[in-house]
Amino acid sequence: MKFNWKIPQGLKSHYQSELTQYAGALRAGHLQQAWGHLERAHILGQAYPKEHTCVHWKML
């Protein structure tokens, strides 16, 4: 099994954008919108253990 330890820079910027938008929506109390951003970040980071675990932690 191969692990992808480093997320590619082009993908990382989209992943980070989703997390930033998640945080803003959460602060504003828009919980459904915040969850949608976490779902997208989850998909983007799915193949990368660090990013994938980070999103799961936030989802808890």
> What pLDDT, on the 0 to 100 scale, is given for residue 18?
98
pLDDT value for 2: 77
pLDDT of residue 1: 67
Residues in the chain, pLDDT under 50: none
DSSP the chain: -----S--HHHHHHHHHHHHHHHHHHHTT-HHHHHHHHHHHHHHHTTSHHHHHHHHHHH-
